[in-house]
Chains A and B, each alone.
Chain A
Amino acid sequence: MRTGARWSSRLLLRLAPIASIASLLGLWAFAESRSLFLPSLGTVFSEAREMLGERDTYSELGASLQRLGIGIAVAVAAGWLLALAAQLNERLNRIVRIYMALLFGLPSLLVAFLSLVAFGISDTGVVAVVVIVVLPFVADPLLQALQTLDRHQLDMAKVFRVSRREVVRNVVLPHTAPYFFAALRNAHALGWKVLLVAEIFSVRSGLGYQFKNAFDFFRIGEALVWLVLLLAVIAILEYGVLGQIERRVFAWRTPRQ
């Protein structure tokens, strides 16, 4: 009885992804039959095959990825600096917190507009939008990380006369790692959202621009292919890249045997 139940639940777990994709496709087919504008599955598939064969598809994706990467890198670096500054000085801490609170609430659409005004049609403008919108979500966990350092561990390092460099390497950085990955996840998720908005406004390449184009010329099939591509890239970065790195970094959390 019990093994039977376990066996069937395992089967369910296996089937779940397949079932979810199948039901999504079913839903699509149903919606398509009712809608004037939604292209059929077949149309989208052939569109996808064509687009995946073109080099331009990848260079557009690459352009977006590059902007996102630079934006996140700058935001993470700035986030570290802010967190360190806030940690070193009480006055700076207050100032940093005020600015962060303001940045947190800033609508990204507004940032995109202002950056278009400031930088014109350029990559710099798009990257700047990503940095400004993502920064508070990166700096905040890093700030928390530095404030929750374990006094006990630092004292231990002190009595064993561990050098400052080694303390950073063996105590501070590992402690901040979970916060850092939370920051990266924030940055990655939020980064895509604002990136696309900014690309619609300010540049003539990248996913956002392609979306806009496809919609402007009513090429819904193409827009859907871009959407699926975007989701695939997000999934690869989130589960493939970030997940794999995390698994290695947090191996020490392996449960007791």
Chain B
Amino acid sequence: MTDPLIQLTDLSAGYAADRPVLTDFSIDVKRGELVCVVGPSGCGKSTLLSVLSGLRPPLSGAVTIDGEDVYGPGGDELPRLGYVFQEPRLLPWRRVGENISIALRAAGVPTAKHRGIVAEKLERLHIGDLSEAWPLQISGGQRQRVAIARALAIEPLYVLMDEPFSALDELTARALRAELLDVWQATGQTIVFVTHSIREAVYLADRIFIMTTNPGRLFNTIEVALPRPRSVEDTSLLELEASIVRSALAEWERAQGKPAPVPR
């Protein structure tokens, strides 16, 4: 058990060495921590995610996960990863339970255990009765619950979430955020959560990594010391959000040479 679980050191990533999308990026994520990454478009969040998922070698720097150098020599065994995309990305021609089973099979979980795991995870996300449903029969919020269940079912080393609630209506998103926190606290998963929304980050995270653009790099790290459970309407939460927005907006405008998009 090494601490931290994820370590990025002097990371530079992108398509061409002379124009990295992401540069000089060093962060670490502790085991069981929920961190949010916030930044404007073009700050290299997608690049960061593909480097973190083991799919794109960085231009320079190291990615260490659970003590293993992911892109180092002999690192061909990729760490087990749970991923929640912006869209649910379920296979519409496989029933809900089978969608999760496919991930379990890929993770090497014996088939005999699938049924129990699927039932347990769906139950945990309050959709225990949907195992036999087709993805197109259920609502967008339910689909995203299935996606979360899939990511957690394989008991991954860490979970990446790429704006998973941004395509949902606000009420559904709220419910899912609260449930995500429940599940996270129950399982002790390590989660890296990417979002555009500072408010969402303040509500969810232990720590927030604020990124900036031109080129993408880390601008600030904020410890969110607010006690849990948190409430979206809590004034201290809103004050923290406001102060982050002030400092971040000033930097984003400076970096882009134009007014930054108003964050939600």
Residues of B contacting A153 in the complex (Cβ-Cβ under 8 angstroms) = 89, 91
Given contacts A166-B102, A166-B105, A256-B137, contact A159 B81 (CB under 8 A): yes
B137-A159 in contact (CB<8A): no
Task: From the candidates B55, B83, B92, B150, name the one contacting A252 in the complex (CB within 8 A).
Answer: B92
Smallest Cβ-Cβ distance to A150: which chain B residue: B89
B102-A162 in contact (CB<8A): yes
Residues of A contacting B95 in the complex (Cβ-Cβ under 8 angstroms) = 252
Tell me whether A96 is interfacial, beta carbon within 8 Å: no
Tell me whether B154 is interfacial, beta carbon within 8 Å: yes
B105-A161 in contact (CB<8A): no
Given contacts A153-B91, A158-B55, A163-B106, contact A252 B136 (CB under 8 A): yes
Residues of B contacting A174 in the complex (Cβ-Cβ under 8 angstroms) = 91, 93-94
Tell me whether B107 is interfacial, beta carbon within 8 Å: yes
Residues of B contacting A251 in the complex (Cβ-Cβ under 8 angstroms) = 134
Please classify the interface of chain B as helix (H, G, I), strand (E, B), loop, or mixed, using the class held by over half of its residues: loop
Docked Cα-Cα span, A254 to B80, in Å, equals 34
* B121 CB to nearest chain A CB (Å): 14
Tell me whether A171 is interfacial, beta carbon within 8 Å: yes
Tell me whether A170 is interfacial, beta carbon within 8 Å: yes
A160-B154 in contact (CB<8A): yes
* B92 CB to nearest chain A CB (Å): 6
Residues of A contacting B160 in the complex (Cβ-Cβ under 8 angstroms) = 159
Tell me whether A55 is interfacial, beta carbon within 8 Å: no
B137-A254 in contact (CB<8A): yes
Task: From the candidates A152, A252, A257, name the one contacting B93 in the complex (CB within 8 A).
Answer: A252
Tell me whether A253 is interfacial, beta carbon within 8 Å: yes
* B197 CB to nearest chain A CB (Å): 22
Smallest Cβ-Cβ distance to B80: which chain A residue: A161
Residues of A contacting B134 in the complex (Cβ-Cβ under 8 angstroms) = 251-254
Task: From the candidates B81, B85, B137, name the one contacting A152 in the complex (CB within 8 A).
Answer: B85
A159-B94 in contact (CB<8A): no
Which interface residue of B92, B106, B150 has the most chain A CB atoms within 10 A?
B106
A residues 220-257 touching B (CB-CB < 8 Å): 251-257
Smallest Cβ-Cβ distance to B156: which chain A residue: A160
Docked Cα-Cα span, A181 to B91, in Å, equals 19
Tell me whether A102 is interfacial, beta carbon within 8 Å: no
Tell me whether B78 is interfacial, beta carbon within 8 Å: yes
**Cβ contacts B199-233/A at 8 Å (1 or 0 each):** 00000000000000000000000000000000000
* B15 CB to nearest chain A CB (Å): 17
Smallest Cβ-Cβ distance to B104: which chain A residue: A160
Docked Cα-Cα span, A153 to B103, in Å, equals 13
Tell me whether A36 is interfacial, beta carbon within 8 Å: no
B91-A170 in contact (CB<8A): yes
Docked Cα-Cα span, A160 to B89, in Å, equals 12
Given contacts A160-B154, A161-B78, contact A152 B91 (CB under 8 A): no
Tell me whether A118 is interfacial, beta carbon within 8 Å: no
Smallest Cβ-Cβ distance to A158: which chain B residue: B55
Docked Cα-Cα span, A171 to B102, in Å, equals 11
Residues of B contacting A159 in the complex (Cβ-Cβ under 8 angstroms) = 53, 55, 81, 83, 160
Task: From the candidates A152, A170, A255, A256, name the one contacting B94 in the complex (CB within 8 A).
Answer: A170
Residues of A contacting B87 in the complex (Cβ-Cβ under 8 angstroms) = 152
* A146 CB to nearest chain B CB (Å): 17
Tell me whether A156 is interfacial, beta carbon within 8 Å: yes
* A179 CB to nearest chain B CB (Å): 13
Docked Cα-Cα span, A256 to B135, in Å, equals 9
Smallest Cβ-Cβ distance to B102: which chain A residue: A170
Which interface residue of B55, B93, B103 has the most chain A CB atoms within 10 A?
B93
Q: Would you give 19 A-B contacts (Cβ < 8 Å), ordered by A?
A: A152-B89, A153-B91, A156-B83, A159-B53, A159-B81, A160-B83, A160-B102, A160-B154, A161-B80, A162-B105, A170-B94, A170-B102, A252-B134, A252-B135, A253-B92, A254-B136, A256-B136, A256-B138, A257-B137
Residues of chain A touching chain B, judged by Cβ–Cβ distance below 8 Å, are: 152-153, 155-163, 166, 170-171, 174, 177, 251-257
- 3 residue pairs, one from A and one from B, having the closest CB atoms: A174-B93, A162-B106, A156-B89
Residues of chain B touching chain A, judged by Cβ–Cβ distance below 8 Å, are: 53, 55, 78, 80-81, 83, 85, 87, 89, 91-95, 102-103, 105-107, 134-138, 150, 154, 160
**10 more CB-based (< 8 A) A-B contacts, given A161-B78, A161-B81:** A155-B89, A157-B106, A160-B106, A160-B154, A163-B106, A166-B102, A171-B91, A252-B92, A252-B94, A255-B137
